[in-house]
Amino acid sequence: MKIFISHSSKNKIYGEKLVELIRSLGVKENEIIFTSNIAYGIPVGQNIFNWLKSQISENPFVIYLLSEEYYESIACLNEMGAAWIIENKHAAIFIPNFDLSSKEFQSGVLDPREIGFYINDEDRILSFVQLLSYYFEITKNTVLISQSVKKLIEEINNIENAKVLVQPISKIKPIEIQAGVRLELESTTNNAFLEKDSLYNKFLSSITSKKMKDDELILLHYLIETGTLKLKKGWQEHIQVSNIKEWEKINDINDILSSNYLGVLNRYELRGFTKISAVTSSNNPKEVIIKDEISQNLLDLPKEVIEIVQEAVKRNYFEHVEEINKDDDSLPF
């Protein structure tokens, strides 16, 4: 049996802390499925949806890391539904401040009467550890268990405190120093936090404002469908184009992407959505990768964005022309 942590990528940091706790208790690396970390995630070259489906069908112990963002994610709700149908053993863990009276939680497939708990509830986490011990080989050292749980609680509380610190106190506020004299006070928002967030927002804005062409949207569809994050270029470009052509053929999509692959890739690079991940011996780029700020959110795209991508795909479906049966002697009129 494995542990599958079903979560929104926007709550990745809480999932990482859970993984650290579980690993510290003795659960093996290959017994954990956590898609926000490549060490516990999808093998290279696998279709992400098919892979997740196969993992869920193997009856893992599912940890639902529930939050407002979880219920806003179509991918998360699909995971929940698939696991619920198979009746996996599971535990519901809430991120801090999750509203248990929310309509989404009360009307979801998980029975709200079942006992769940907040991730920073020390006593309940200890009970959760005991539950895990029924299915996995974990340490019986009570001191180590206590230390690991206390470390988790401390780190979760630090995360919550940090959230308060990065909240924008204000935009630019005028302060009266004395009559006739004014100073401008800059917002105390954490600039690094905003910078990271802004690339993903720029990515979404490029789609919703219709700045992306169909071939760029279809590349995004290709990335999501195939679970691909790395794209070949330079002398390896023909390999990537060949893969895309096969994908287009299988999915009945026009060759709009494969025929203009380099142009599409260049536009992604110019927009700052990719970075070089491998170079040749001559230091020429041979591979690029979608930046983390974007890739970690690809399974949690807003509904509006998903619809725009799907419309682009529909516009470029290959129309099959019915062939006239050459053996048919009847006249065409």
Indicate if 202 and 269 belong to the same structural domain.
yes
Nearest alpha carbon to residue 221 among 243, 202, 248 = 248
Indicate if 50 and 195 belong to the same structural domain.
no
pLDDT for the residue 312: 92
In the chain, what percentage of residues exceed pLDDT 90? 41
Indicate if 155 and 199 belong to the same structural domain.
no
pLDDT at 179 > cutoff 90: no
Longest dimension (CA), the chain: 100
pTM attached to this predicted model = 0.53
pLDDT for the residue 194: 40
Is residue 82, in this structure, part of any structural domain at all? Answer: yes
Confidence of residue 77 (pLDDT cuts 50, 70, 90): confident
pLDDT at 251 > cutoff 90: no
Contacts 24+ apart (CB under 8 A), 25-30: 25/129, 25/132, 25/138, 25/139, 25/144, 25/145, 25/148, 26/136, 26/137, 26/138, 26/139, 27/3, 27/132, 27/136, 27/137, 27/138, 30/2
Backbone φ and ψ for 10, nearest 5 degrees, come out as -70, -15
Q: What's the CA gap between 175 and 77, in Å, rounded?
A: 48
Indicate if 29 and 126 belong to the same structural domain.
yes
pLDDT single digits (tens) 195-215 = 445 889 999 999 999 889 999
pLDDT at 84 > cutoff 60: yes
Indicate if 109 and 241 belong to the same structural domain.
no
Lowest mean pLDDT among 100-104, 191-195, 199-203: 191-195
pLDDT for the residue 310: 92
Indicate if 136 and 205 belong to the same structural domain.
no
Indicate if 107 and 228 belong to the same structural domain.
no
Mean pLDDT along residues 7-29: 93
CATH number at residue 83: 3.40.50.10140
Indicate if 123 and 27 belong to the same structural domain.
yes
CATH number at residue 253: 1.10.10
Domain count, the chain: 2
pLDDT at 86 > cutoff 90: no
Which one from 29, 58, 79, 160 is the annotated catalytic residue? 79
Indicate if 156 and 7 belong to the same structural domain.
yes
Q: Which residues make beta-bridge pairs with 181?
A: 178
Which range marks the domain in which residue 41 is found? 3-160
Residue 85's H or E segment, with its range, is: helix 74-86
Is residue 183, in this structure, part of any structural domain at all? Answer: no
Indicate if 103 and 224 belong to the same structural domain.
no
Q: What does the block give as tokens for 98?
A: 């999750």
Is residue 174, in this structure, part of any structural domain at all? Answer: no
pLDDT at 80 > cutoff 60: yes
Is residue 171, in this structure, part of any structural domain at all? Answer: no
Mean pLDDT along residues 106-134: 84
Q: What does the block give as tokens for 329?
A: 């002697």
Confidence of residue 324 (pLDDT cuts 50, 70, 90): very low
pLDDT for the residue 174: 47
Q: Is 79 a catalytic residue?
A: yes
pLDDT at 277 > cutoff 80: yes
Is residue 179, in this structure, part of any structural domain at all? Answer: no
Is residue 175, in this structure, part of any structural domain at all? Answer: no
Average pLDDT, the chain: 81
Highest mean pLDDT among 37-41, 138-142, 187-191 belongs to 138-142
Indicate if 53 and 108 belong to the same structural domain.
yes
Is residue 320, in this structure, part of any structural domain at all? Answer: no
Mean pLDDT along residues 251-268: 91
Indicate if 100 and 197 belong to the same structural domain.
no
Q: Which residues of 221-250 are buried (b: 16+ CB within 10 A; e: fewer)?
A: bbbbbbbbbebbbeeeeeebbebbeebbee
pLDDT for the residue 171: 43
pLDDT single digits (tens) 237-248 = 999 999 999 999
Is residue 100, in this structure, part of any structural domain at all? Answer: yes
